[in-house]
Amino acid sequence: MDLKGKSALVTGGGVRIGRAICHMLADAGANVCIHYNRSYDEAVALRDELEERGVEAHLAEANLMSETACNELMEKAVAMMGPLDILINNASVFNKQKIDDADMDVWMGEMWPNFFAPAQLIRAFAKHSEKGGIVNLLDRRIESLDASCVPYLISKKALAELTRVAAIHYAPRITVNGVAPGAVLPPPGKDEQYIKDHAGPVPLEVQVTPEDIARAVRFVLENDTLTGQIIFVDGGQHLGNG
């Protein structure tokens, strides 16, 4: 897909990796709806930056913890931009919880934003849009059995499987792909030392950046022959060296 003039919704687009994806889309000439939950100020600042660069940029608030909120977000985005061409399921939470710590509230706290919301948004996108591309942000851990963050891990593994099922279900009209980052940024509130202490060995000995992730998102969106693919952008970490 040529991204120029296309309409994209980026969940969690105001900060961090989502922000880099919004900038990438603007670089490619796409118009962007920046979804935010708590990061209103950052989302407003990003919208203003993108508009100064000559692309159409919109804001849409939603707490993605219910089917209604997901459907309302899609309807808001469509009301502002018309049927979307691109959906980026980027919003997510990450908590370290072992199986024994995971009561139902803990499970739902990860499963809703990380899996159920993307699943509902994919469905809503396919209802409104005849054609387009969806990219789900995953995690290199989907190749692992990391027992330190089980609800998070399972939510991302589920989204990886949904990526492949949705890819075949929605072909030929919509492509559905995944980008699986390694350790890019420390969780909000932690510093760079957190990555050094927790990320484990990276075979290529590189630090993955938000812009590396955004470039991979662009690659899958622009290539009309890709669907059901999961691109690991992790310096080779998913290969199992730790």
Ligand X SMILES: NC(=O)c1ccc[n+]([C@@H]2O[C@H](COP(=O)([O-])OP(=O)(O)OC[C@H]3O[C@@H](n4cnc5c(N)ncnc54)[C@H](OP(=O)(O)O)[C@@H]3O)[C@@H](O)[C@H]2O)c1
Interface residue with ligand X, options 36, 116, 125, 170 (CB under 6 A) = 36
Q: Which helix (H) or strand (E) holds 36?
A: strand 31-36
Q: Is 85 in the site for ligand X (CB under 6 A)?
A: no
Q: Provide DSSP, the chain.
A: ---TT-EEEETTTTSHHHHHHHHHHHHTT-EEEEEESS-HHHHHHHHHHHHHTT--EEEEE---SSHHHHHHHHHHHHHHHSS-SEEEE---------GGG--HHHHHHHHIIIIIHHHHHHHHHHHH-SSEEEEEE--GGGGS--TTSHHHHHHHHHHHHHHHHHHHHHTTTEEEEEEEE-S-SPPTT--HHHHHHHS---TT-----HHHHHHHHHHHHH-TT--S-EEEESTTGGGT--
Shortest distance, CB of residue 130 to ligand X, whole angstroms? 27
Shortest distance, CB of residue 58 to ligand X, whole angstroms? 15
Interface residue with ligand X, options 8, 10, 16, 84 (CB under 6 A) = 16
Q: Is 39 in the site for ligand X (CB under 6 A)?
A: yes
Interface residue with ligand X, options 3, 17, 111, 216 (CB under 6 A) = 17
Interface residue with ligand X, options 132, 133, 178, 181 (CB under 6 A) = 181
Binding mask 211-230 for ligand X (x = CB under 6 A): --------------------
Return the range that interacts with ligand X (CB under 6 A); candidates 30-38, 47-55, 78-86, 168-176. 30-38
Task: Read off the DSSP letter of residue 134.
Answer: E
Shortest distance, CB of residue 196 to ligand X, whole angstroms? 13
Interface residue with ligand X, options 93, 106, 158, 226 (CB under 6 A) = 93
d(C-alpha 228, C-alpha 220), whole Å: 10
Q: Is 116 in the site for ligand X (CB under 6 A)?
A: no
Shortest distance, CB of residue 204 to ligand X, whole angstroms? 16
Q: Is 158 in the site for ligand X (CB under 6 A)?
A: no
Q: Is 65 in the site for ligand X (CB under 6 A)?
A: yes
Given the complex with ligand X, which of 92 and 97 has the nearer CB atom?
Answer: 92
Task: Answer whether 167's CB lies under 8 Å from 175's CB.
Answer: yes
Q: Is 91 in the site for ligand X (CB under 6 A)?
A: yes
List residues binding ligand X (CB under 6 A): 12, 14-18, 36-39, 62-65, 90-94, 113, 137, 139, 181, 183-185, 188
